[in-house]
Structure 1
Amino acid sequence: MNTKLIPLAAVALAFAGTHVQAQEVVKIGYVGPMSGQSAHLGTDTQNGTRLAIEDLNAKGFKIGGKPVKFVLQAEDDAADPKQATSAAQKLADAKINGVIGHQTSGTSIPASRIYYNAGIPQISASATSPVYTHQKFNTTFRVVANDNKLGATLGQYAVQKLGAKKIAVIDDRTAYGQGVADEFGKGARKAGAGAVQIVAREFTNDKATDFNAILTNIRAKNPDLVFFGGMDSVGGPLLRQMKALGIKARLMGGDGICTEAMPRLAGATAGEAPIVCAEAGGVAAGQQQKMEEFAARYKKRYNQNLQIYAPYAYDATMAMVQAMADAKSADPKKYLPFLAKVKYAGVTGEIAFDAFGDIKDGALTLYTFKDGKRTLIEVVK
């Protein structure tokens, strides 16, 4: 009797060992504002990351021929640099395999040093400050165009397409807001060749709600365009107060105000106000069907419309995992060189990086708002 039981026990042990080996876990971190004024954008980006992980697990993705299970570890940085570094250290201590985030430039930049020191690749789906990828950290990447391109393109468009002559510029003093506003000013001056005036240069902060003083000063200068560098949580109330003060100038801004939430935050004024904004990213005509299909899947999964960054976070996650597959390893040290040269055909277009970790041939999408809804103008490169 015992001689028959021993082989059966051996078989059971062997099967158990095989089962354990099949449970390799790959941890993907996400950090963004899950609380505070920009929580709606942070949730959107996290949702895009989560959807990618769910897709990977659903199709039984393998790395080096071995099945893996992807798990998401999400942390809230509340768009605050200090909280961002704490979240980054938490992920580093957890020996995360890779990070999608952070959302803002002001949080991505300080967190990037922690990931670099830990050797963990970081891909932001939204941070646009050139500083982020120009720190000589080989672990930093982004899947959208940077502020140099975003601001300069908007400045050129304001002058050459919108005919702006007298421009007021406001920024929220964040790394993103100040950076894109400065580049906008340079682009407008260059495009205007001396015929354009920056009649006011004003500053606020990323939690402000009262703009009466700076807008009163701007109104006296009678600009035909106001550029705002900052997020929709400030840009919406700013637009509302512009209209209340009778400022008829067009409002222009970057991707921070180019969100589905902007009309709600601006109140009734958004539906009638002339707004032009640009999303740091863009989908050419050939990609439009992919984007529409993604938006439909997103709404079905989360019962809400995507805001702006979800498809870029989805592509960032997929590009990171593609590099793991190419390296046949989820070990950051082993797949990092493959991430630097990855080519992934994503929802938003091809994901490939230059020597700095910036997206190659990054596109921008210009939008306006009609009847309270974001409406495409054109995609530019």
Structure 2
Amino acid sequence: MKRRGVPPALLDAFLVLVALIDTWANVGFDRGAPLGCALLASFALVLRRHLPLTTFLLTLPTALVTDAVFATLVALYTLSSLNRHRVLLGICALTYAVIDFLPWPWSNLRATELAGTRNVVHILYSVASAAAPVFLGQLVQARRELSLRLSEITEARENERLLTAQSVLAKERAQLAREMHDVVSHQVSLIAVQAGALQVGSGDPETKSAAATIRRLSVQTLDELRHMVSVLRASGSRPTELTPQPSLADLQRLVDGSGIEAELKTDLPGDLPPATQRAVYRTVQEALTNVRKHAPGARAIVAIHHMNGTIGLTVTNTAPTQAPLPLPGAHHGLVGLRQRAELLGGSITSGPTSDGGYELHLELPIGTT
């Protein structure tokens, strides 16, 4: 998260203002060369972020000929916070300490003035004044680099967590693929083989037709299972080509291969958005599957029409003529269809009819993409 602080331009303007106040307090505006040096140092602070060494050199004259040293100290601090060369920083600090200690003009310097407790204190003060901004700048630089390293470590840990989660997911997908291949595919293959044997060996036409339907659906299920196993085994390592998604052109084949007596009535155009076509297809598919499972012997009518920008799909079946078989199910089919319809701006209603049958109705906007 990016920290909010004072804008750099505003901070630089404030430092220039303080340097000008320092110039007014220690130099005044009635002196020639010293005033020029102080003003040069003050306005040079606007360059401190981009040219820190040049800024420091431009502020040295005011430290030499005046007592207005605020700009020089700021420039030395900025140089220290942006530079890693310890030797250069030491030379700059020593240069400032010497300039601050020696009087100007240097011709007034006397050897006897370098001795005494007062001058020792002055020397210590000059060295401390030069060292303080250097140490503070180095501290700020270390803190900035530490924050950067912490951000990198946090990002690396987050990437490691994501990689771990992906690895766990890949193992689970591989295990699921093995289970589907070894158990489900094997059992569906046996169903297909037994249905083929029944189709060949039976003399009853209805039995032959039912066996053919079972065999065809088993083969289709095997194809879909094989594709699902290949997708799961990919485990995100490479893009996996998806099977072609169903469209309205596949509806008649779906109804004909449903294994029940069903009739399709539709006047939908073929240029509907792909998401809408898939929703219609999956709804018809789930409705016919439910009829086959829960209403054996029933007849179904699939009626689809569009009016005023809305698709209306109704799947109605008659009352069953046989007792339903106890087949396993997760009871998530209608829930999934309802969620799909709601995502596309539509709705699904369902319920029993007065003659003992069942009706499912879908309304979906045509303009959905």
TM-score range, shorter chain: under 0.3
Larger relative strand fraction: 1
Larger relative helix fraction: 2
Query: Structure 2-normalised TM-score?
Result: 0.22
More relative contact order in 1 or in 2 (CA 8 Å, sep 6+)?
A: 1
